[in-house]
Structure 1
Amino acid sequence: MAKPFITETFLLQNKFAEELYFKYAEKQPIIDYHNHLPPAEIAADRKFENISQLWISGDHYKWRAMRTLGINEKYITGNAPDEEKFAAWAKTVPHTLRNPLFHWTQLELKRYFDVDDYLNEASAKDIYANINSKLQQSGYSVQGLLTKMNVEMLCTTEDPIDTLEHHKTLGNGNFGTKVNTAFRPDKAVLIENDTYNDYLAQLEKASGTVINTYNDLKDALLKRLDFFHENGCRISDLGFNQLPFETFTDAEVTAIFEKRRHGGALTVVEADKFKTALLLFLCEEYATRGWVQQFHLGAMRNNNARMHRILGPDTGWDSIGDYMQATTLSRFLDALDSKDKLAKTILYNLNPADNELFATMVGNFNDGSHRGKVQYGSGWWFLDQKDGMIKQLNALSNMGLLSCFVGMLTDSRSFMSFPRHEYFRRVLCNLLGQEMQTGELPQDIEWVGNMVADICYRNASQYFEY
C-alpha cells in the first residue's frame, strides 16, 4: 500500500499552522448555512445501498471530470450498474491531480470510511466492497454521517411552494443536528422564464391565493414567507447572473405583470423593472423578520443546449460568467439601506475577477448595527478550492475584516461534502501560520487562534442566531 496521503499535517506547513488547526479549528462544530441537501433523505435517515448512490449520484463536479476523460455518459448519469459507475469514477481519480477533486476524494474516503488507499482502477473493487459493507452498519445512515462530521446546524434550500413536511418531521424528532431551510424565490422573480405562468399556478395552490394581479402575487409570497418563518426559516437565498436595478413605478410593475400573465413577451427593461420591484419587496420583508439574505451572483448556466435538453439543469453544464456587477448591486443595496431595510446580507461572486469588487462593496453597507452585517461570502462553486479560498481570504483581509468572517459552507448536494469545512480550516490555519512564521503576524497563538475559532464557528453561530 502506498504511504497515506491524508496525514495529520495535510496542508499544514509549519508548527504555527499545526497548533492553530489542532487547538482552535479542528474540534469546532460545523454550521453549514447553505447547501442543497435533500431534506427528505435526512428526515427518513436514509441508508444508502452503495457508495455510488451516496457519492457519485448528483455530483456534477465528478461528472465534468469524467466527461473530460472521455467516459461515456451511461457511466455518469445513465443506466450503467452502480458498481460500473464507481469503477468509471475510480479510473478518473488518478487524472484529477491538481484538481480539487483529488484532495476532496482522498479526504472524504479517509474521514467517512478510514480508507487510506488511493482510489484508482486497481483499488476500486476492494474499496467499493469495503465501503458498501460499512454503509449497512449503524452510524452510516444519513444522520449518522452528519453526526460523524460534527454538524451542529445545516440549512437546506427550498422554493416558496415547498410544504416543508420533512423539516417539520425533523423539528419534531430527536436528531441532534439542527436542520433549517432557506427561502429561494428565484422562480417567482424570473418573470421572463417560459414556465413563469405555470409556476404561478403552483404558487396559487401552495398559498391558497388566486394570482391575477401584482398585488395578488405579493400577497401569495407574504403567506409563504409567514409559513416559512413559522417553521423556523431565518435565511433567504437568490441565485442570479447579476442583481437587476431599474427605476419603476407601481403602475408600471402592475402593467408588466398583467402583460406577462396574459402571455405577452417582455422587453429586457420591463423584466428588470419587475424583478427590481419584487426583489426589493421581498428583501424589505426579510429585514422586517430579522432574516439573513444571501445573493449568489455570476453563474452562466445551461451553456450546452443539447445536453440541457437531455439531462436538464444542474447536471454539469454551467461555468463562470463575466457579467457587470458593481453598479446595479450598489444601487440595489443602497435602495434598501436608504429605508433602513437592509437585512444581514452575504454576497458571493463566481467570477474571481470580482473578488475585490465584492470585498469592497460589503464595506459600503456595514453600519455598526451588527458585527459583520454585510459579509463577503466564502469561495463559491468553482472557487471553493485552495486557490479560490486563499484569494477570497486575501481580498477580504485586504479590503475588510477577516476576523468578522462567518466562514465556510458546502453549497453541496452530497452528504459526503462536509470535509470541505476541514479543508477550508486547514487552508486558513496554514495561511495565518505562514505569516506568523515570517513575522507578518504576531507569534501569539492565543490571539490568532481565537480569530480562527471565530471564523470556523463562533461568528456564524452569532450571525445566524438559530
Structure 2
Amino acid sequence: MSPLKLHPDRLFPADSTTRAIARHLYAQVAHLPIVSPHGHTDPRWFADNQAFTNAADLLLIPDHYLLRMLYSQGIPMEKLGVRRRGEAAETAPREAWRIFAAHYHLFRGTPSRLWLDWVFAEVFSLAQRLDANSADAYYDAIAEQLAQEAFRPRALFERFNIEVIATTESPLDSLDHHRTIAASGWSGRVITAYRPDPVVDPEFEGFRDNLVRFGELAGEDCFTYGGYLAAHRNRRAFFARMGATSTDHGHPTAATADLDDAQARALFARVIAPDVSAADAELFRAHMLTVMAGMSIEDGLVMQIHPGCFRNHNPWLFKHFGRDKGADIPVRTEYVHALRPLLAKYGRDPRLSLIVFTLDETTYSRELAPLAGHYPALKLGPAWWFHDSPEGMWRFRENVTETAGFYNTVGFNDDTRAFMSIPARHDVARRVDCAFLARLVAEHRLEDWEAAELAQDLAYNFAKAAYKL
C-alpha cells in the first residue's frame, strides 16, 4: 500500500529562490483564523451538534465535485448512495465508499485530490493512500473517530480555527437552526446570507408557490408589486437580525435593468402569471438585481452576484436526483453591458459594496478587472467553483492584478458544502497566493515586507473587511 504524505512544499514554485520566499510568506499566514464569508454548509450541524455518521455520508454524497467525476466515468448515482427523489438509498454507505475508493485514481491532478488528501492526513491521521485495498480500513478508522466528541461539528469548527462561517438560506427559510445556535451559548460564529433566487427567478421551480410562502413569512401580499418589495425588505431585516451581512444572487446571466415604477409593475404582473416568457423572466431578474442593490444601500448588506451557470444541464439527473448533483455547466458571460444599468445608478455610491464572481475566465482582464478598477462600489470575488483550483487561482491573480490590483479583490471564500474541506481549501489558497507574491518579490516588483502584508490581507483581512465581519 502506498503511503499518504503531504509534501511541505506542495504548490510552491519549483525554483529554489522563489520557493524559499513562498515558504517564508506562508509561514506567516498558515495559522491565521479562517474567515469563511460565503458557503453552503448545513447550519443544522452546528445547531444540533450531532456526530457525523460515516465516511460516505460525510465526504462523498454531499460533494458534487466527486459525484460529477464518478458519474462522468459511468458510475450511476444510485451506486454512490445518492437517493432518488422520494426513494431510499439503493447502496449502503460502506459499499458506496468502496466504489469511491476503487476509483480514487480518477481525481489525480484535481483540486478534489488535494483537499481530500489533506482531510485524510490532517483531520483523520491516515497514513496510507485511499484505494480499493484500503477502503474498509479508511471507512472503519473514520467511523471510529467520528464517534468521538472531538469530531462533532462544533469541536471541528474550533479545531479548524474558524472565526466565522456564513451559510446561505433562501427567504423561505425560518432560520430555526440559526436561532438554536444563537440561544445555545456556544461561542462559534455561524451566520446566514440572504439568497432570494426562489422568489426572484420566475423560472425557479415552484415560483408561484414560493411567493405564497414568502408572503406568509413576511406578512405581505406578494402578488402585488408593492407587497412583494415590502416582503424583501422584511425578510432582509430578519436575516440581518440573525447575523447576515450579505446577500447572494445566482442568476443565469449578469444582466441588470433599471425600470421605472410603471414598467416594473407591468412586468411583475406578467411574471406572476401561470405562463411567463423567457424574455420577461430575464428582464425581471435583471431589474431585481438593481432593486436589490438599492436595498443594500438602505440596509448595508453586502451584495454578491454569482452568474454564468447553466443549472441542471442534465434533465434526467435533475428529475430523479434534484439540484446540486454536478450537472451545472459554466457559460459565456458578458459584464460590461450587463452591469451598466446597475453601476450607472449605484456604482459610485460608497454605501454599496458589490462583489461579482465569474465562471468565464475570458472576462477577467477584458471586462471585470477594468470595471473593478473604476467603480468604487465594485469588487471582484475570487476564482470560483470550477476554477477553485491552484491553476484557476493563479490565472485569476495574473489576469486581474495588472488592472484592478490586489485591493479591488476580496480574498478567498470556500463556497462549499463539504465542511471537512474548508481548512484544506483555505490552505491551498494561501499557498497559491504566497507563491504568486513570491514571484513578484523575486522579480523585484514588490518588497518582501509588502508581500508579507499582502499575504495576510489575502488570507484574512480582505474577506473580513469586504463582508463586514
TM-score, normalised with respect to structure 1? 0.92
Q: Is 1:63 the equivalent of 2:74?
A: no
Q: Of residues 159, 167, 190 in structure 2, which corresponds to 1:156?
A: 167
Equivalent in the alignment of 1:182 = 193
Q: Does 1:307 align with 2:311?
A: no
Q: 1:347 aligns with which of 356, 360, 366?
A: 356
1:145 to 151, 156, 169: 156
The answer to whether the 8 Å contact 2:168/2:192 transfers is: yes
Q: For the residues of structure 1 that align with 2:75 and 2:381, how far apart are their CA atoms? A: 34
Query: What is the aligned partner in structure 2 of residue 285 from structure 1?
Result: 295
SS at match of 2:121: helix
- Corresponding residue for 2:456? 453
Could you list the structure 1 runs, at least 4 aligned residues long, displaced by more than 6 angstroms after superposition.
none
Residue 127 (str. 1) matches residue 138 (str. 2): yes
Q: How does 1:327-346 map to 2 (within 5 A)?
A: 327-337=337-347, 340=349, 343-346=352-355
Q: Across the two proteins, how many residue pairs are aligned to each other?
A: 455
How big is the alpha-carbon RMSD for the aligned residues of Structure 1 and Structure 2? 1.9
Return the offset for 1:212. 3.1
> In the alignment, which of 185, 200, 206 is matched to residue 211 of structure 2?
200
Equivalent in 376, 395, 401 of residue 397 of structure 1: 401
What whole-Å deviation, never above 9, does each CA across 1:281-311 have from its counterpart, x for those lacking one?
2221111212211111111111111111111
For 2:294 and 2:407, the matched residues in 1 are separated by 28
Q: Which runs of 5+ in 1 are unaligned?
A: 367-372
Alpha-carbon distance, 1:114 to partner? 1.7
2:234 & 2:199 partners in 1: Cα distance? 14
For residue 7 of structure 1, what is the amino acid of its counterpart? H
Instruction: Determine if contact 2:254/2:308 at 8 Å carries over to the other structure.
Output: no
SS at match of 1:182: coil
CA–CA separation in structure 1 for the residues paired with 2:282 and 2:69? 36
CA distance in 1, matches of 2:144, 2:257: 57
Alpha carbons 1:348, 1:377 under 8 Å: kept = yes
For 2:407 and 2:347, how far apart are their aligned partners in 1? 24
Is 2:197–2:204's contact at 8 Å kept on the other side of the alignment?
no
**Cα distance, 1:117–1:404 mapped onto 2, change above 3 Å:** farther
Per-residue CA distance 1:90-137 (angstroms, 9 max, x = gap)? 112112212222212211212211223211111111111111111111
Partner SS state of residue 421, structure 2 = coil
Partner of 2:86: none
Say whether the 8 Å CA contact 2:378–2:408 is kept in structure 1. Answer: no
Residue 244 to residue 93, structure 1, CA distance change in 2 (3 Å): same
Q: What runs of 5+ residues in structure 2 fail to find an aligned partner? A: 14-18, 84-89
Q: Which amino acid aligns with 2:97?
A: F
SS of the residue 2:167 aligns to: strand
Query: Percent identity, aligned pairs only?
Result: 25
Deviation track 1:411-465 (CA, whole Å, cap 9, x = no partner) reads: 11111121100011011112222343344443x2x33112101111122223333
Distance 1:318 1:91 in 2: 25
Q: Is the 8 A contact 2:433 2:458 kept in 1?
A: no
Q: Does residue 259 in structure 1 map to residue 267 in structure 2?
A: no
Larger mean Cα displacement after TM superposition, 1-10 or 75-84: 1-10
- Please, which of 14, 24, 31 is the counterpart of residue 27 of structure 1? 31
Tell me which residue corresponds to 1:359: 369
* Residue 359 of structure 1, CA deviation: 1.9
- Secondary structure at the aligned position of 1:248 is classed as coil
State the match for 1:118 in structure 2. 129
Moved more, 377-386 or 184-193: 184-193
Partner SS for 1:349 = coil
1:36 to 34, 40, 55: 40
2:253 corresponding residue in structure 1? 242
